[in-house]
Structure 1
Amino acid sequence: ALCKSKKAKSTDELMWVSMLDPRSSELKHLNPAEAERAREHLIDAAVELAKEMNATTECSNENVSFRTNMDQMTTPHKENLAWLTDVYSGGVEAEVEEPIPEQEEKLRERCKSQLLVYMSNAHSTPVTTNALKWRKANQKGCSIIAALARKWLGCIATSAPSERAFSKSGNVVTTKRCSLALDGIRDVMFVGENYAELDDNIPSDSSDNDTENEK
């Protein structure tokens, strides 16, 4: 039963996450019931993310306000307030209140509106479209949907040599390139770029001239 529940959850996630890709946003691969369920799940996820975004913004604003008030105090007042804060509250943390039903309903309507804008922009998007370029050009008016796409479809950057897909030195060797030292990669690149047969600066008849000089 546990395996079935996990499988069902992952299937639901795959269905609504696929909407975040403009090339599959119309959900032609799903039946009407599955498509409707996927839209509802996407809106739910967008609302939750919007709550997190609002909470982060409010927390940042309150921390800035607190630091501003601290700067306006004298040094003894700062020390006393900092000590009391650490002792009794464990630090300054902005309390995030649960949104009231009216606010949550407005937030949900906002997410639905942004989803409609996104679906309108993504209508009939060819499969060969570059999704990253498309999103850069069409993210206006649907900031929450764009943030949701970055969360689920984005890739965290890494400095590991084997992951540097756009690095010339990273493509010198295949899967084992991460085990090479930097000096080894440099030497391989040097030999590859300066190989005599590929060097246009070396005349093709140089060997003939050397033979004549010896005679």
Structure 2
Amino acid sequence: MNTGWPQAAQAAEAGLFAETLSCDAVLPADFSVGLTRPGRLPQAEALLLGLAQVEDLRGEDSGEEKRGEQLPMLVQRMDAKLDLMLVLLGRLTRQSMDALPMRTLRWSARGLRLHLEPGTTVPAQEAQGLLRLQPSEWLPDDLELPASVAATAEDANGLVLWLRFPAFPPGLEEAMNRHLFRMHRRQIADARRR
């Protein structure tokens, strides 16, 4: 935790991330103040569940060695080609629509810490808005989640927002925790490889 942050920011950091699973990442994300629609909660849950199913089928968490033992070489090649096609399709789709900017963030099922560029207008505390977040690089679809501003701070890199989620339906909260768990496992595996 940055001890240079104001007290409200430190309290928001503790409230959103203490004693819960969270992940640091750089993902396409944006927050719009004043958008009061409730977000697409059923679609968000479906997207996260779909990502989990794809990752289960691909055996991403089981490691490359085990994956190679389970799948014949032809199926592995087809899987690799499908991965490449999905990445290409994602890039083409992002070119034809308003792409979300890449942002440094910390994400838990309770909320998000989002780093914005310098000169961004500082929203009022407790301001309601809509968070758009693309949970996977290869899939050009994003989550739309309602959030409120828990705290703000400025640092050398720009504006930092702490966004608190409302109580989500249990299915969405479970799907989000599962997605964060997978992200966390990948981060640990990447750190071990270095």
TM above 0.5: no
Q: TM-score, normalised by structure 2?
A: 0.23
Q: Larger relative contact order (C-alpha < 8 A, sep ≥ 6)?
A: 2
Q: TM-score, normalised by structure 1?
A: 0.21
Higher helix fraction (1 or 2)? 1
Pair member with larger Rg: 1
